[in-house]
Amino acid sequence: MEAIALELWMGKLRAATPELRSFSGAKKITMMSRKQLQQAFASVSFVSFFGSTIYGAIGAINAANQQLAAGTPKAGPSVKSQAQAQAKGYEMVLQI
């Protein structure tokens, strides 16, 4: 059954495209399909490259956000309190 359907389909294809019978017509079709294949490959490559770039950028942004959320740096001692502690240390040294 499938063979009959395939044979009918091939017969219709041959009748509809007489340029397939000549060598130049087959070459023209081959060149068109090669160009279409190149365009498809270029499109897939383009989408893949930018998709992976965006995926990496989103991963980096998420990692940075998680670091900020997990370990928010706490404010250290102020400069004034550091100077006071240093002055107190000098006074203790001078007393000895």
Residue 24 predicted with pLDDT over 80: no
Q: Is residue 79 part of a domain?
A: no
Backbone torsions φ then ψ of 17, nearest 5 degrees = -125, 85
Rounded distance between C-alpha atoms, residue 96 and residue 93, angstroms: 5
Q: Is residue 14 part of a domain?
A: yes
Q: Is residue 81 part of a domain?
A: no
Identify the domain containing residue 36 by its residue range. Answer: 2-73
Task: Specify the number of domains making up the chain.
Answer: 1
Residue 29 predicted with pLDDT over 80: no
Q: Is residue 19 part of a domain?
A: yes
At 40, is the secondary structure helix, strand, or coil? helix
Q: Is residue 83 part of a domain?
A: no
Q: In this structure, which amino acid lies at residue 12?
A: K
Residue 26 predicted with pLDDT over 80: no
Nearest to residue 49, comparing CAs of 59, 38, 57? 57
State both tokens at 28.
């023209």
State both tokens at 68.
């900020």
Rounded distance between C-alpha atoms, residue 25 and residue 96, angstroms: 106
Q: Over pLDDT 90: what percentage of the chain? A: 30
Q: Is residue 87 part of a domain?
A: no
Q: Is residue 26 part of a domain?
A: yes
pTM above 0.75, yes or no: no
